[in-house]
DNA sequence: CGCGTTTGACCGGCGC
DNA sequence: GCGCCGGTCAAACGCG
């Protein structure tokens, strides 16, 4: 990769004025947390557990559906961040298109999609049951357009981190 | 008014 | 063949 696949940053090098800074806007308020049997194993847990997982998962996506296609794999980036809000503003505009409960998790998973035309980037946000402070954001696909927000986006950070999926 | 969120229904696949 | 499951769509609503 390296030629075109710019995961999050623009090779154009236009937006390079942002630094570390997650935008914490409004608090999303607790959802209906009904105390049920939610005991996950969740071993890592905790606090400084800030890690990112780069998985070039396949895309065959779902279980082997495509016939001729075999090289198109959809890059998937998972980020685990400690945040009090689910909404991490990365500079793009997202439209929520669904919300589903996750097994073994008290909190639902939110599905977002980039509102750009031609930009089919999807995003998933999930919060851990035990540690509500941990939010897992999964990005799928790449943007074909510049970031709307010229402010800080942690995408720059991401680019700095060299989060490239090694297929 | 435009647009993003919300929520239930629907869908394709897999497992049993 | 049916049920479960994760994911997506779509109509309605609310908000700016």
CB environment A5-33: b (16+ within 10 A), e (fewer): ebbbbbeeeebeebeeeeeeeeeeeeeee
By C1' distance from the Cα of A65, the closest nucleotide is B13
CB environment A44-58: b (16+ within 10 A), e (fewer): eeeeeeeeeebeebe
Structure confidence at residue A19 (pLDDT): 32
Q: How far is the CA of A27 from the C1' of B10 (A)?
A: 32
pLDDT tens digits, one per residue of A100-128: 988 878 788 999 999 887 788 888 888 88
Which pTM does this prediction carry? 0.63
pLDDT tens digits, one per residue of A21-80: 344 333 333 333 333 333 333 333 333 444 444 544 444 444 444 444 455 556 777 777
DSSP reduced 3-state for A158: helix
Nucleotides of chain C touched by protein CB (<7 A): 5-10
Element (H, E) at A157: helix A154-161
Largest CA distance in chain A: 49
């Amino acid at each position: 990769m390296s030629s075109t696949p710019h995961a999050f940053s623009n090779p154009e090098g236009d937006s390079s004025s942002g630094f570390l800074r997650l935008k914490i806007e409004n608090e999303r308020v607790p959802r209906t947390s009904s105390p049920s049997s939610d005991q996950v194993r969740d071993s890592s847990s905790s606090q400084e557990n800030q890690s990112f997982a780069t998985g070039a998962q396949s895309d065959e996506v779902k279980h082997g559906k495509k016939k001729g296609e075999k090289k198109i794999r959809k890059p998937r980036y998972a980020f685990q961040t400690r945040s009090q809000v689910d909404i991490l503003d990365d500079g793009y505009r997202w439209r929520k298109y669904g919300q589903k409960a996750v097994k073994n998790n008290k909190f639902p998973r939110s599905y977002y999609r980039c509102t750009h035309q031609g930009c089919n980037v999807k995003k998933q946000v999930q919060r851990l049951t035990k540690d509500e402070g941990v939010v897992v954001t999964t990005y799928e696909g790449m943007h074909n357009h510049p970031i709307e927000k010229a402010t800080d986006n942690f995408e720059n950070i991401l680019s700095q981190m060299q989060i490239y999926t090694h297929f």
